[in-house]
Structure 1
Amino acid sequence: MAFYLGLDLGTSGLKALLIDEEQKIIASAHAELHVSRPHQSWSEQQPQDWIKAAEAAITRLKAEHGTALSNVRGIGLSGQMHGAVLLDEQDQVLRPAILWNDTRSHTQAAQLDSDPQFRALTGNIVFPGFTAPKLLWVKDNEPEIFARIKKILLPKDYLRLWLTGEHVSEMSDASGTSWLDVAQRKWSADLLAATELDESQMPRLVEGTDVSGTLRAELCQQWGMASNVAVAGGAGDNAASACGIGTVKAGQAFASLGTSGVLFAANDSFLPRPDSAVHAFCHALPQTWHQMGVILSATDALNWYSTITGHEAAALTQELGDDLLAPSGVTFLPYLSGERTPHNDSLIRGSFTGLSHSDNRVALTQAVLEGVAFAFRDNLEALAKAGTQLESVMAIGGGSRSAYWLKALATALNMPVHLPADGDFGAAFGAARLGLIAAEKADALAICTAPQIIKTIEPDQKLHAAYEAAYQRYTALYQALKP
């Protein structure tokens, strides 16, 4: 039997997942990663740590499932987007990678965004978290490093370089750089020139379902694999999750309650609307695009509150009980790292407002969950302005384990929220699917199917008016508190 390996490089860890030719999950392994924050608004990692994490996870799989690993025919990659890995002529890393949630380059982002060609060609605002403004920051603040840059890679593509020896990226991840002509699915010479770069410094582009290279002989020998293992183009983490959950056709959507939050809708055409702060990116499948609204702190907000209270996040949500409560007077804005959609505001910060003597830990937990749900509602409104109307969403991510949070989300969005059958349908599974498609030249739509829905959470119509009033209060608070 043939097997396929998905590698998902996240911010807090790397996951390796094995599936068989029937897409049954055989095993997975995880290795932790840590973020360095040497200054306010900075977020960095050492790319070498990603390789160590991949080696640790795959070594664990080999020890426990060596036969399956030896029969791997394809590998797919998924990864945190927007990060800047800078390499010299010998492919040596010039500085720590600047990550997606690093906002030091907000001034450079505004400078690039003021150039009309960026929105015209990319279909997106130039956000501070994107790659191009990071490079402009390096040029302005570390010119000696900028002068030595031979190649710029995204995080998962640095893993690819280690796996295959090839400098390659793919369309979904490249869409988040601010250098891609997203409609034409190619690098833009004009946008690169605006940051004093050229196409020679960019990786070669392939589709996510294409073969980007084959596994290096040294690694084949180390892991006991054959010499012709295909490495797929893969996808950025959200597009890979969409492949895993089967959100690949127009009209399909998911809400990801992960560290960050994503409302993701698949499209069969390119539908840019930059002023809405909705991302319009290439999908991992050829001639497919997607839109998504992004919340910078989703479960990250609850985890932050968990640290403050000294109580586990799951215990906090359990204190709320089973039945959805009407919003109280307490409102939480989850802008702990600024916000992307719909505000594009790296300076705004989170807040509790409306506190009184009667409010306790449970009331603040409720406010945190509602605040994140209202941030998703903001994203839903932004998607509607960008031309995408949704009728329901699939819920994925760690936050979807909270029944209360899903009820709050369904009521805030005023639409059904579907819960998939038990299973791992995340980015690592989507990456493994892409590895299968590339290795076997399989039909992508036949492989990237949606899982069975085991439960649908309907909005609580009795609380619709109360939630609507609370949402209006939530949106007004941003205008009152923004810098």
Structure 2
Amino acid sequence: MKYVIGIDVGTSSLSGILVNERGEVLTSASESYRIITIKSGYNEQDPVDWYNAFCKVAKELISYAPDISRNIEGISFAGQMHSLVRLDDEGNAIGNAILWNDTRTKQECERITKEIDVIKITKNKAVEGFTLPKILWLQEHDFESWKKTKTILLPKDYMVYRLTGNKVMDKSDASGTLIYDFKHECWSEEILNHFDLDLGIMPKIVNSTDFVGHMDALLCRKLGLLTIPKVFAGAGDNSAAALGAGIFKKGDALLSIGTSGVILAFEDDIDVDYKGELHYFHHSIERSYYSMGVTLSAGHSLSWFKNNFAKSISFTDLMNEISEVPIGSSGLLFTPYLNGERTPHTDATIRGSFIGVSAEHNLKTFTRAVVEGITFSLKESYDIMFENGIELERIVSTGGGARSVEWLQIQADILGVEIKTLQSAEGPTMGAAMIAALGLRWFESAKECGKSFISYGESYVPSPSNHKKYNELYKIYKQIYSNTKDINMQLKEYRK
């Protein structure tokens, strides 16, 4: 039997799965690591922590059965997008990586928007999470450190480099840097020249399924491998998750609720122009793309609420109780802006709100309000897709939002689209494993690979009456941002 390993370099942990050529997940493993927050809005990680976590996870996967160590043929990665990793001239990481959810770059985003038509070139507007604003921040605030930079990479590309010694970046991750010429599928010389950046610091752009080198022989021995697997470029986590969920055609979408929340729709036209209202990135499938909206604090809003107000209650019990609460949480609305917002508001200053609090509300009503608010926020992104001609036929729901029957039905009722689940909750790791399988030519196409690797679970159909009620509530929800924006700006100076 032949095997591949799929790895996801996530925000809170590195996860991996071992998959055989029939698409069966034999085992999984994960290793958590820290987020370094030196002050509000600053989120960093040490890239070496990712590598150490990979070694632990890979060892565990390889030791699953005696024949594994001599039959692993390929490995590939998914990874958190946008997060900036810098290498010096010896290939060592310089300082910490600045993460995708770091919001220190508001001024740099304003400068980019003022000085260059970045949307025309990249199809994306300048937002705090992207890579280019982080580079400009370093040039302004830590130039001595920046001068040492010889290569920039993203997290999964750092892992590829540590395994192979080669510096590459696939198109799905490259299209999220704000330095990528989308139409010509290359680094934008106009952007690089405007901001005095040398093309030489940029890695080679490749396709997700491209073979990019063999795993280092010494590392293979360290991990217990008796063969030297091929390494394939991989993809950004959302692109990999879409592949692993079978998002292969128009009308398909992925709803992923993790720390952040993402709704993305398959696209097949390189010339689509959302004018920056939505992100537009390359899919891990060649000549395919996806539009995407992001809620920065999706699952994070629920975990924040539980950890602060229901620490002694399990997530399962907390979610089970929301079925006892009527639609609209008895007149309570929540906006999930704990760390600012990405889509559709692109506002690092806005913060969350509970609106309509009264003495009748309790833990159950607050919990349901949080869940409904997260889903309303994701609906704002879907509305932009719909207004631009995207009509979804099905949405595959993954992540924390797919672990609760109550929440899955709320998703269907708010969005008005059938929600499907996956039997396997592997997410980006499954996409990474499929990329390795496709790179090895085990299958002729992503669709063929999906037939073996992807199994769907339950479906949730929207209730027409519930959808109608939610549409009325949604009209009220959409008023909260404009009516609290100025208040949050005034409160900014009181934040630590």
Q: TM-score range by the shorter chain?
A: over 0.9
**Bigger mean CA offset, 310-319 vs 232-241:** 310-319
* Contact 2:192/2:198 (<8 A) preserved: yes
1:306 maps to: 306
2:219 maps to: 219
* Contact 2:119/2:275 (<8 A) preserved: no
TM-score of the two chains, using structure 1 as the length reference? 0.96
Aligned pairs for 1:61-72 within 5 A: 61-72=61-72
1:384 maps to: 386
2:179 maps to: 179
In structure 1, C-alpha distance between the alignment counterparts of 2:66 and 2:15, rounded to whole Å: 17
Secondary structure in 1 matching 2:23: coil
In structure 2, C-alpha distance between the alignment counterparts of 1:417 and 1:116, rounded to whole Å: 40
Q: Shift of residue 274 of structure 1?
A: 4.4
2:483 maps to: 480
Aligned pairs for 1:212-291 within 5 A: 212-225=212-225, 228-275=228-275, 277-291=277-291
* Contact 2:328/2:369 (<8 A) preserved: no
Query: Is it true that 1:435 corresponds to 2:436 in the alignment?
Result: yes
Amino acid at match of 1:414: G
Amino acid at match of 1:461: P
Aligned pairs for 1:335-354 within 5 A: 335-354=337-356
**Bigger mean CA offset, 101-110 vs 191-200:** 191-200
In structure 2, C-alpha distance between the alignment counterparts of 1:322 and 1:390, rounded to whole Å: 30
* Contact 2:258/2:399 (<8 A) preserved: yes
Aligned pairs for 1:42-121 within 5 A: 42-121=42-121
**Bigger mean CA offset, 69-78 vs 107-116:** 107-116
Aligned pairs for 1:418-457 within 5 A: 418-420=420-422, 422-440=423-441, 442-445=443-446, 446-449=448-451, 451-457=454-460
Q: Shift of residue 452 of structure 1?
A: 4.2
In structure 2, C-alpha distance between the alignment counterparts of 1:386 and 1:69, rounded to whole Å: 49
Q: Shift of residue 228 of structure 1?
A: 4.6
**Bigger mean CA offset, 317-326 vs 81-90:** 317-326
1:417 maps to: 419
Deviation by residue 1:213-258 (Cα, 9 ceiling, x = unmatched)? 1111112222343555211111000000111111122222111122
Q: Shift of residue 441 of structure 1?
A: 6.4
Q: Shift of residue 391 of structure 1?
A: 2.6
Deviation by residue 1:170-201 (Cα, 9 ceiling, x = unmatched)? 00011110011122221111112233212210
1:408 maps to: 410
Aligned length: 482
Query: Is it true that 1:3 corresponds to 2:3 in the alignment?
Result: yes
Superposition RMSD on alpha carbons, in Å?
1.7
**Bigger mean CA offset, 4-13 vs 107-116:** 107-116
In structure 2, C-alpha distance between the alignment counterparts of 1:260 and 1:272, rounded to whole Å: 25
In structure 2, C-alpha distance between the alignment counterparts of 1:95 and 1:415, rounded to whole Å: 45
* Contact 1:259/1:298 (<8 A) preserved: yes
Where does structure 1 differ by over 4 angstroms across 4 or more consecutive aligned residues? none
* Contact 1:282/1:288 (<8 A) preserved: yes
Q: Shift of residue 468 of structure 1?
A: 1.4
The equivalent position to 1:398 in structure 2, one of 390, 397, 400, is: 400
In structure 1, C-alpha distance between the alignment counterparts of 2:69 and 2:445, rounded to whole Å: 23
Query: Is it true that 1:131 corresponds to 2:137 in the alignment?
Result: no
Percent identical among aligned pairs is 34
With over 3 angstroms needed to count, the CA separation of the structure-2 counterparts of 1:384 and 1:444, relative to structure 1, is same
Secondary structure in 2 matching 1:69: helix
* Contact 1:256/1:397 (<8 A) preserved: yes
In structure 1, C-alpha distance between the alignment counterparts of 2:76 and 2:324, rounded to whole Å: 39
Q: Shift of residue 447 of structure 1?
A: 1.1
Amino acid at match of 2:472: A
Secondary structure in 2 matching 1:177: coil
Q: Shift of residue 425 of structure 1?
A: 4.1
With over 3 angstroms needed to count, the CA separation of the structure-2 counterparts of 1:16 and 1:195, relative to structure 1, is same
* Contact 2:265/2:290 (<8 A) preserved: yes
In structure 2, C-alpha distance between the alignment counterparts of 1:444 and 1:113, rounded to whole Å: 39
In structure 2, C-alpha distance between the alignment counterparts of 1:378 and 1:70, rounded to whole Å: 49
Deviation by residue 1:250-276 (Cα, 9 ceiling, x = unmatched)? 222111122111111111122543445
Deviation by residue 1:300-331 (Cα, 9 ceiling, x = unmatched)? 11100001112333221111237863442111
5+ residue gaps, structure 2, are 487-496
Secondary structure in 1 matching 2:63: helix
Q: Shift of residue 66 of structure 1?
A: 4.6
With over 3 angstroms needed to count, the CA separation of the structure-2 counterparts of 1:467 and 1:184, relative to structure 1, is same
Secondary structure in 2 matching 1:234: strand
1:149 maps to: 149
In structure 2, C-alpha distance between the alignment counterparts of 1:454 and 1:26, rounded to whole Å: 19
Deviation by residue 1:441-478 (Cα, 9 ceiling, x = unmatched)? 63232213484443221222222332112111110011
